[in-house]
Chain A
């Protein structure tokens, strides 16, 4: 069979087009990448004039802000870490696959809730409520972990049929009403407990006995609100790291007679350690840079106080409040840009570290999987 003939094509034009497009993409791509990286250059350039000034001013100006930033981030991490890591361990090691495939998107949704909304709820709903019910709040913080343990103890006392109806692999879901119930219990019980205190009022006691002032918007509120915001990102990364630990490793440990607790500490955590570390780092990076939540829930008082019941002003919040008013090129302007530079360098370094640790771990498992 003879092929139908086709006319000769216009080759040079195609080659030319290709060459032009390739160089355009190259130029554009490099341009875009440079534009992104220009952020660092700009920040450094704008803060250079500060070098010629004396440093004490910088210290007095920036140290309360740095302190506030650290305090807010620390409070958030204190609240978020146990919950996020606990949730990650549970969903990687115990949760049923079906539940897991639904819970993960739900927590992804949690990550998407804008900071301004969380800040609003924290500053205008949570903060006044906690101010009125401080004892209940503290009670809840102590009681909830205890009640979770209580759930475990009670579960072991159940009949085996009931245990099958309420399996551990679905506990993430069916514990929700239990936790809610325990929460209400704590709220009902706390005021009774508070009357037992000398004076019958926790806040007065705090003020008289330890000299702790109570500000409506304080580190406690910021910790809870920002903790809520960083839980999902820590959870997602730590869960990935734990789920990446080959099942054979855990099975091997169990086969050697290790309990689940031992298997976790001796096998899963060391293996997933770098991944969990990078998850914590990225969470910390988010907590340090989050602006709206701190702005709305912290009171923005530039204090050097370690009390969890007092407010703070973070670098990000200071930038958001003061920079629009600062005259360009002025001293305040440059200091705020220095604060931005500090934030930029800090988060960039933390993220790079986390990313490298994560990549290295992934490579290790790929090798382990191959052999």
Chain B
């Protein structure tokens, strides 16, 4: 059903809305300002479940800001104001009674530079679990093995689970961070330029991982690497100066952009 929708939309009007039952996330007129300076302006779009959606755009266009807004990471900073709505599975995440920590569990986030905690590989993956549940060791071990396997890291680290996570290579660290996030079983995974600090081989591994993960959850990828967006994503949104310029299937955005601005950016005539 999704496939038919994709092909139908490829040639028609811009894809900015999906049927309600397909939406993992929907954003309605969302604006955000840092200390009075607008960073996001009146964004409206929705993200389909179990797909990879890429946000591309020049640096400073607000794509990372949007990602952080979805995880409510701006809560740590007082000078941020926002308006509009973001709904996760139909719930307004900025509603007063929203439990922020539970929201953040449901929306995992992976950052640009790998940030494993200064503890063992095992403890890194167990970190989120220990916060949520008091599990018997057997069950916890199972979840950790599953998370590391899902992040395609298990085979590389199964013999040294209790070594420091800081001894891993950059690519392994990033996959560990993904595993750590998967362990708390989020519905949405936000990836903020997850491969920008990595070498080409590690980047390929991460990309492969992203493609494989979409059977389990919804992924939102922010990247400034156009090829990466083309390789891994199903849908692509092009942002500029805090505004959504064009949003459609990746195929359509890359091969047949509707707007001149999008085409200029994609072909490298504008950065």
Contacts and interface: CB of A to CB of B under 8 A. Distances in A.
A4 B101 contact: no
A169 to B, nearest CB: 37
Interface string B196-218: 00000000000000000000100
Contact of A6 (B101, B102, B129): B129
A1 B147 CA distance: 10
- Looking at chain B's contact residues, the main secondary structure is helix
A6 B185 contact: yes
B146 interface: yes
Interface in A1-31: 1, 3-4, 6-9, 11, 14-15
B142 A4 contact: yes
- Looking at chain A's contact residues, the main secondary structure is loop
Contact of B146 (A3, A7, A8, A11): A3
Given A11-B99, A14-B101, A1 B146 contact: yes
A3 B185 contact: yes
Contact of A15 (B99, B143, B146): B99
B164 interface: no
B212 to A, nearest CB: 10
Given A11-B99, A11-B102, A14-B101, A4 B133 contact: no
Contacts of B131: 9, 14
B139 A4 contact: yes
Interface residues of B, number: 18
A7 B132 CA distance: 9
Interface string B137-178: 001001100110110000000000000000000000000000
B33 to A, nearest CB: 25
A224 to B, nearest CB: 49
A15 B101 contact: yes
Contacts of A15: 99, 101
A1 B145 CA distance: 12
Contacts of A14: 101, 131
B135 interface: yes
A13 to B, nearest CB: 12
A106 B102 CA distance: 53
Contacts of B139: 4, 6
Given A6-B129, A6-B132, A7-B133, A1 B99 contact: no
A6 B135 contact: yes
A4 B101 CA distance: 22
Contacts of A7: 133, 135
Interface in A25-69: none
A9 B101 CA distance: 12
A197 B147 CA distance: 92
Contacts of B142: 4
A14 B132 CA distance: 9
A9 B143 CA distance: 15
A11 B135 CA distance: 15
Interface in B78-102: 99, 101-102
A3 B142 CA distance: 9
Contacts of B129: 6
A6 B182 CA distance: 13
A217 B182 CA distance: 74
A4 B99 contact: no
Contacts of B99: 11, 15
Given A9-B132, A9-B133, A3 B101 contact: no
A7 B139 CA distance: 11
A3 B132 contact: no
Contacts of A8: 133
Interface string A272-316: 000000000000000000000000000000000000000000000
Contacts of B216: 3
A4 B149 contact: no
Nearest to B129: A6
A3 B139 CA distance: 11
Contacts of A1: 146, 149-150
A1 B133 CA distance: 22
Given A6-B129, A6-B132, A6-B135, A11 B149 contact: no
Please indicate which of the listed interface residues A3, A4, A7, A8 has the most CB atoms of chain B within 10 Å of its own CB.
A4
A11 B101 contact: yes
B146 A6 contact: no
Contacts of A6: 129, 132-133, 135, 139, 143, 185
Contacts of B147: 3
Interface of A: 1, 3-4, 6-9, 11, 14-15
Chain A to chain B: the 6 pairs with minimum beta-carbon distance, closest first: A9-B132, A4-B142, A9-B133, A4-B143, A6-B133, A3-B146
9 contacts: A1-B146, A3-B143, A3-B150, A4-B143, A6-B132, A6-B133, A11-B99, A11-B102, A14-B131
Given A9-B132, A11-B102, 9 more contacts: A3-B147, A3-B185, A4-B143, A4-B146, A6-B139, A7-B133, A8-B133, A9-B133, A14-B131
